[in-house]
Amino acid sequence: MNRMVLGVLVSGRGSNLHAIFDAIQTDRLKAKIGVVISDNPDAQALKRIAGFGITTVVVERKKFASQYDFEMALTAELRLHHVELVVLAGFMRILGPQFISQFTGRIMNIHPALLPSFPGLDAQAQAIAYGVKISGCTVHFVDEGMDSGPIILQEAVPVHDDDSEHTLAERILHVEHVLYPRAIGMYCEGRLKKEDRRVVIIEK
């Protein structure tokens, strides 16, 4: 059986990339990573998968005259490696409409909050400052807004009275590592059906 080809975009430490790779290695996720692209040549994510035979590419924004040129370079790399689903795993750049239009309905992201609450940066700090008792993470399709795309999966985690941004982030991260490969697997199995803003999960 042909496995769906993933293109993973990273900027930082790559813990979700590692979780996805581990799910593939243990056959919990029927996919393969065609390429990992980073906008940061020093990203820990690149070191995490060194030696596993996965193609890695660095595409730095500063080397391009415009956002458009940068995104077209990303697109060219993804197409070169026959990517079918673009997976954002700690990619710290907002993608513009010109990029999103190339992969409509085929870009997935995970956010450390229960969207639509606390979009954008520092979601864990936003949750603590607001005083919520429950936070969590959300896997969603990417659209042209800020963390506003159709929601695929969500899972809640408690917020403790003595939590810091760091402790809450770590608790959420453990859930992310399970939820993200699960959502990607559902996509690969053709089990996600979009109906306007809703994503309906088709049972096996």
Catalytic residues: 111
Maximum Cα–Cα distance across the chain: 49
CB 45 within 8 A of CB 89: yes
Rounded to 5°, angle at Cα 153 from 130 and 38: 85
Contacts of 16 (CB under 8 A, 6+ apart): 89, 90, 110, 176, 177, 180
Distance CA 39, CA 144 (A): 20
- Residues 154-175 as b/e (b if ≥16 CB within 10 A, e otherwise) read beebebeeebeeeebbebbbeb
End-to-end Cα, the chain, rounded Å: 18
